[in-house]
């Protein structure tokens, strides 16, 4: 549960990076996620340039008997746009998605494109958040949150918020884990959502999944190293968005409940993040070139 009356699936299909980030495959991937694997969470964004294709897949699913009310749909606006532009941004996304509401609406990046001073950036973040609260009250977004926000950006929002962000979607995996940010979000009741939970954001996907520690833990539980990485995040209280076009991998990503990592295993995997390896999520480049196994930043 990420907000009053709003339950979010623990695993969503990311559509912004890797093979699933290609426009030619998005519709089929979302359809397979919903109709073959049985997933129900979908993550998209205005910046991914595929909301129209996600809308097509939603229509396909409805024709096959999976109705919009059964699906948890997340989209994002590019950044802090200001009050009026934020309202317009969601209207545009709803039109492309061909739906009257989203379940979660996020501010994709913390830094405004047109701010010239830190004070102006802070003001735009705060004005944008007021608009997000209005959209939540209107019912056009059942829950609202942020993405790639560091603690300092969250504090700007919290200074004016009457509704705490439900979610902060950030890069989080065994080799890029910002535990200080996780602790801050936990204190405020903000759910952390991991994009690129298998480490594919910087071509380290194979490295993460082939680490000797990950292979040993996977063998001990009779599961894949991908399942170990996802289960590790879940045991930190994190929800996930992971992208794939492979229905078998989709099913594996959902099959996380028949095993549990020991405390020692969780601690050992957490130690894979170097002391200086906690990337500032807001500093990541837009566009997500080379991403895999998760939503584009």
List of residues 6+ apart from 201 with CB closer than 8 A: 17, 171, 173, 176, 195, 284, 288, 290, 291, 292, 294, 297
Question: Could you tell me the pTM of the whole model?
Answer: 0.89
Spatial CB neighbours of 100, under 8 Å, sequence gap ≥ 6: 94, 140
**Among 33, 48, 105, 232, which one carries the catalytic annotation?**
48
In tens, the pLDDT along 124-165 reads 999 999 999 999 999 999 999 999 999 999 999 999 999 999
Instruction: Look at residue 287 in the predicted model and tell me its pLDDT.
Output: 30
pLDDT: which is higher, 281 or 1: 1
Which pLDDT band, with edges at 50, 70 and 90, does 56 fall under?
A: very high
**Alpha helix ranges (H) inside 174-277:** 179-188, 205-209, 212-221, 225-234, 247-254, 263-270
Residue 185: CA atoms inside 13 Å, Cβ hemisphere, count? 28
Cα(176)–Cα(297) distance, rounded to whole angstroms? 14
Tokens of 54: 């996600």
Residue 97 scores a pLDDT above 80: yes
State how far the Cα of 152 lies from the Cα of 134, in Å rounded to an integer: 23
pLDDT in tens, 156-201: 999 999 999 999 999 999 999 999 999 999 999 999 999 999 986 5
- Rounded to whole angstroms, what are the CA distances from 291 to 171, 174, 189, 277? 11, 16, 29, 18
Asked if 117 contacts 78 with a C-beta cutoff of 8 angstroms, the reply is: no
Q: What pLDDT is recorded for position 19?
A: 73
Annotated active-site residue 83? The verdict is no
């Amino acid at each position: 549960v990420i907000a009053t009356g709003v339950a979010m699936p623990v695993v969503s299909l990311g559509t912004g990076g890797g093979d699933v980030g290609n426009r030619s495959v998005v519709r089929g991937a979302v359809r397979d996620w919903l109709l073959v694997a049985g997933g129900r969470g979908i993550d998209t964004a205005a910046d991914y340039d595929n909301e129209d294709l996600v809308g097509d897949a939603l229509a396909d699913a409805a024709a096959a008997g999976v109705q919009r009310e059964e699906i948890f749909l997340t989209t994002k606006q590019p950044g802090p746009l200001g009050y009026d532009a934020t309202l317009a941004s969601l209207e545009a996304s709803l039109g492309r998605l061909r739906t009257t509401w989203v379940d979660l609406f996020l501010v994709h990046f913390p830094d405004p494109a047109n701010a010239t001073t830190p004070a102006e950036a802070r003001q735009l973040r705060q004005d944008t958040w007021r608009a997000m609260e209005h959209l939540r009250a209107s019912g056009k977004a059942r829950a609202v949150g942020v993405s790639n926000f560091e603690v300092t950006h969250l504090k700007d929002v919290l200074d004016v918020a009457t509704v705490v962000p439900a979610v902060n979607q950030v890069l989080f995996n065994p080799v890029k884990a910002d535990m200080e940010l996780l602790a801050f979000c936990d204190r405020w009741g903000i759910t952390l959502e991991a994009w690129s939970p298998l480490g594919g954001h910087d071509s380290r996907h194979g490295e993460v999944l082939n680490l000797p520690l990950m292979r040993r833990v996977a063998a001990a539980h009779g599961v894949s190293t991908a399942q170990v990485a996802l289960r590790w995040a879940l045991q930190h209280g994190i929800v996930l968005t992971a992208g794939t076009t492979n229905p078998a991998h989709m099913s594996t990503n959902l099959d996380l409940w028949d095993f549990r990592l020991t405390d020692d295993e969780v601690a050992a995997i957490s130690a894979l993040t170097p002391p200086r390896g906690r990337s500032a999520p807001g500093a990541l480049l837009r566009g997500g070139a080379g991403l895999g196994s998760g939503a584009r930043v």
